[in-house]
Amino acid sequence: MKSTRINWSMMFAVVFNIHTGVALNITEVKVPEWVEAGSSADLRCSWTPEHRQIWALRWYQGLNEIYRWTPSKEDPKQIFKNPHLTVNPLMSTQGTVRLTNVRHEAAGLFRCEVSAEAPAFRTVYGEKELKVVTLPKSIPQFEGLQPQYREGDWVDLVCSSGPARPVPQLEVYINGEMPSHLDPQLVQQSALDGLQVASLRLRFVLRHFHLTSPSGAPAETRVRCVSRIPEVNYQESSEVILSTRPQHYFAAGMDGRTAGAAASFHSGIYELAMMFILPLWWIW
């Protein structure tokens, strides 16, 4: 009778694979690339095999644990406080986590760890980077604009972005064309919130070709400033006109006709006072 030899090493490998969960793998770690400061973000972590019972799933912001899901516990969700973000427990379950009030300091690597059950407690992980942005709340602003220009005048304008992070990139155009010479872009940072303001200075002499169209007809000189944050496809712009005619300014919220009527009304009141009230005052 031929004896059957048992390959104990192969059997051990099979048993080891079944009980230690060597096949446990993370299939997806979903972290948004950019999040606007103060807003919400969803993290998602998936593993295989999906039907396999795991011991715990953890989410980390940097080295700080922010969320743990232990399915064997009566209350499986555990939330850890973090000064740079808030985990919404009602909108978080298993490998999905809802972050709210995300601050700039929360930017960096977010890691998901999945651990198998005993006896091995094998852990696999995946991580992705999250960046935080604050967009400008206003369009670029010009400083130094004069009410009237003449050919040969010196133009000195400064375009500034709204406070933002990361710092916007500024571009300036004269009649749709970028000038050949510009001062370097300057950046100022606020000590309070860390937001940055970019400024770009444009200086040039107003020449005849600035004030005429290709056909030779009189034209306005338009200066346009563009503010961009390419990483998040942000772009805003503003435009000013260098006029050779005097600019008229009116009170806020009043057009020229209304302002003129108001001036006539006050003038009429003054004349009436001089005609009737002043003589009475002398008689009294």
pLDDT score recorded for residue 261: 29
Phi, psi (5° rounding) for residue 75? Answer: -110, 95
Of the candidates 132, 200, 130, 201, the one whose C-alpha atom is nearest the C-alpha of residue 166 is 132
pLDDT score recorded for residue 104: 95
- Give the confidence band of 247 by pLDDT, cuts at 50, 70, 90: low
Q: Please check whether the two domains, 8-133 and 141-242, share a CATH topology.
A: yes
- The residue extents of the domains of the chain are 8-133, 141-242
pLDDT score recorded for residue 235: 97
User: 141-242: CATH homologous superfamily?
Assistant: Immunoglobulins (2.60.40.10)
Per-residue pLDDT tens over the stretch 11-45: 333 333 444 445 789 999 999 999 999 999 999 99
Residue 74 has pLDDT above 50, yes or no: yes
pLDDT score recorded for residue 46: 94
Q: Average pLDDT of the chain?
A: 81
Of the candidates 232, 229, 236, 210, the one whose C-alpha atom is nearest the C-alpha of residue 221 is 210
Among 114-123, 134-143, 237-246, 268-277, the range scoring the smallest mean pLDDT is 268-277
Among 5-14, 80-89, 227-236, the range scoring the smallest mean pLDDT is 5-14
Select the CATH number that applies to the domain covering 8-133 from these four: 2.60.40.10, 2.40.128.50, 3.20.20.80, 3.40.50.300: 2.60.40.10
**Rg, Å, the chain Cα set:** 34
- Residues β-bridged to residue 34: 131
